A and B are shown apart, each in its own frame.
Chain A
Amino acid sequence: MMLIPCPFCGHRSESEFAYGGPVKPDRPDPHTTSDEDWVEYLTTVPNPLGPVQERWWHVKGCGTWLTIWRDTRTHDIVEGPGDAG
């Protein structure tokens, strides 16, 4: 069971949260970006063997959205991309 740190409620069980997916780069301007970059933005997310930045929604709690770094090998919540957990 993962304990996710909510900025308002403290560490809460993962079952109170809805998963919001990995953090994607900023949406490119569809009028100026190339087709390739646009497709990459739509389809391709970071898939690291290690820390990934992702969004969670505290839907059964206070309702806030939050962003964490989680190590995909251990489910440990870590400080950032370089933190092995």
Chain B
Amino acid sequence: MQNYSIFALLRHALNGHTTWAPAWRSPPLRESYDVIVVGAGGHGLATAYYLAKEFGISDVAVLERGWLGGGNVARNTVTVRSNYMRDASIPFYVKSVALYEGLTDELNFNMMHSKRTMIDVVQTFPKMRELRRRQLTMDIYGSTYEQISTEEVRRRIPALTGGGPDARLPVIGGMVHTDAGVNRHDAVAWGYARGADARGVELHQQTPVTKLLRGGDGAIKGVETPRGEVRARRVAVAVSGHTTTLTETVGLRLPLRTMNLTAFVSEPVKPLVDVVVNCPDSGFYFSQSDKGEMVIGGAPDTGQSFRRDIKQHVFEDTVTAMLSLFPSFRKLKLLRQWGGHLDIAPDASPIMDETDVPGLFVTAGWWGGYKAIPAGGLTFAHLIAKGSPHPLMSPFTLNRFKHLDYVMESGTTTAR
């Protein structure tokens, strides 16, 4: 792998930057591999990377229907945090945040990681009680959460001028999560892709998997694509909202619903807010990107959805809520809106397991899975390589539904 550094930059500058090698190869598609990973998103690419690096399995093909990193890894709001509620969840997200912080060095790719803190602006006492309870559990696992006063919230977020004593929902305080940050989603996808490619993994874009294939013994034997059949004894599905669409091609039903979660960005403005702001009682969150845009997210659309645009009334509700706390944002013009398909399990926790079809692995139910990419990839690679769940993910197998042993997770969504 060609190393990226200031010296490499200078050296290539002498040749007018014409001598850089491509970040990954485009090899021909072979007929069989040891492992097929379906989906070159964050989780798929991280899984391929850790399969090769940690477990020595490099005969891996990552099949992607569109372009690399063009799915939900490009459609999230890049918030990395570990303020979850459950004993089962917190250590996993603490690990993921830690991996993210070292990812620039690990992958020799600048993640532009900005550990800038998240502040929850709390407007109701039940929410404050819930977050205080979260704090007590998070303390056990070394994740940071701390209550601050309304005055301190307003000092740290000067743009927060709404929610005064006369408001319908006055601000009553805040919670500070110093581990939280934002980074650059393209770098995450490209960094993992480059690292995986350098270790022998093949990345195949424009290769949609239309069907999973089972052998006579009932186990998985490969996948069908328009470029032909590709065989593997282990197939790992990391396709977010399309998980059930794919697993149903082998008659496998999973407890997942697909929903559309949307976001939008404003025009760029001068630095105004230097933390990630989450307003759970009002139902929106935002951060300011390095370019100066406000990146804003709200509630999901009602009902199952495979659309990737924002519903007008969801957009209006989010903006109305935001303007009640940040009235000066009234002047902002909005640049773009988009949505992404997420699948969610009945308990709002992820599913990572080998399914009833031997050799077919799924990682799904990642509502807000961006923050989970490094640890999600590492633990999924562990499951594929060893056949047993990684200790951090053992509470999140399909078995929990059989025993109704849910991990009810209120920390999954940022906004509500």
| CB of A61, distance to nearest CB on chain B (Å) | 16
CA A70 to CA B257, docked complex, whole Å? 15
**Count of chain B residues near A, Cβ 8 A:** 24
Residue pair A72, B305 in contact (C-beta under 8 Å) = yes
Would you call B404 and A42 a contact (CB within 8 A)? yes
Of residues 58 through 82 on chain A, the ones whose CB sits less than 8 Å from some CB of chain B are 70, 72-75
Contact across chains for B303 and A47 when beta carbons are under 8 A apart: no
Asked if A43 contacts B307 (CB within 8 A), the reply is no
Judge whether B258 and A47 touch: CB under 8 Å.
yes
Tell me the nearest residue of chain A to B347, going by C-beta: A43
Is there an interface contact between B253 and A39, defined as CB atoms closer than 8 Å? no
Nearest CB in chain A to that of B302: its residue: A19
Using known A-B contacts A1-B311, A47-B256, determine if residue A35 contacts B402 with beta carbons closer than 8 Å.
yes
Interface string of A30-51 (1 = CB under 8 A from B): 0000011001101111010100
CA of A14 to CA of B304 in the docked complex: distance in angstroms?
Answer: 14
Q: Known contacts A39-B401, A49-B245: does B312 contact A1 (CB below 8 Å)? A: yes
Nearest B residue to A71 by beta-carbon distance?
Answer: B306
* Residue of A15, A42, A47 with highest tally of chain B CB at under 10 A: A47
Check if B346 is an interface residue, CB within 8 A of chain A. yes
Do B312 and A49 touch across chains, with their CB atoms under 8 A apart?
Answer: no
Chain B residues within an 8 Å CB radius of A36? 402
A68 smallest CB distance to B (angstroms): 10
Q: Mark B361-398, 1 if CB is under 8 A from A, else 0.
A: 00000000000000000000000000000000000000
User: What's the minimum C-beta distance from A22 to chain B, rounded to whole angstroms?
Assistant: 7
B303–A19 touching, CB < 8 Å = yes
Contact B313 A1 (CB under 8 A): yes
Q: Are B401 and A43 in contact (CB under 8 A)?
A: yes
Q: Indicate if A52 sits at the interface (CB-CB under 8 A).
A: yes
Interface size grouping (class) on chain A: 20 to 34
When each residue 295-313 of chain B gets 1 if its CB lies under 8 Å from chain A and 0 otherwise, what string results? 0000000111111000111
The dominant DSSP class at the B interface is loop
Bound-state Cα–Cα, A1 to B401, Å: 35
Contact indicator B302/A72 (Cβ below 8 Å): no
- With known contacts A47-B257, A47-B304, A72-B258, A39–B245 Cβ distance under 8 A: no
Whether A44 lies near B255 (C-beta < 8 A) is yes
> Once bound together, how far apart are the Cα atoms of A6 and B395, in whole Å?
43
Least Cβ–Cβ distance between B355 and chain A, in angstroms: 13
Q: Please tell me if the beta carbons of B304 and A52 are within 8 angstroms of each other in the complex.
A: yes
Known: A49-B245, A75-B305. A15 touches B313 (CB 8 A): yes
Q: How far is the CA of A55 from the CA of B201 in the complex (A)?
A: 46
Residue of B nearest to A50 (CB): B306
B320 to chain A, nearest CB (A): 12
Q: Would you call A14 and B305 a contact (CB within 8 A)?
A: no
| Chain A, residue nearest B311 (CB) | A1
Assuming A22-B257, A72-B306, what are 14 further A-B pairs, CB within 8 angstroms? Answer: A1-B312, A14-B313, A19-B302, A35-B402, A39-B402, A42-B404, A43-B255, A44-B254, A44-B255, A45-B255, A47-B256, A52-B303, A72-B258, A73-B307
Q: Please report A residues at the B interface, Cβ cutoff 8 Å.
A: 1-2, 13-15, 19, 22, 35-36, 39-40, 42-45, 47, 49, 52, 54, 70, 72-75
Binding site for A on B (CB under 8 A): 242, 244-245, 253-258, 302-307, 311-313, 343, 345-346, 401-402, 404
CB-CB nearest 9 A-B residue pairs: A43-B255, A19-B302, A47-B244, A44-B255, A72-B306, A73-B306, A43-B401, A49-B245, A72-B304
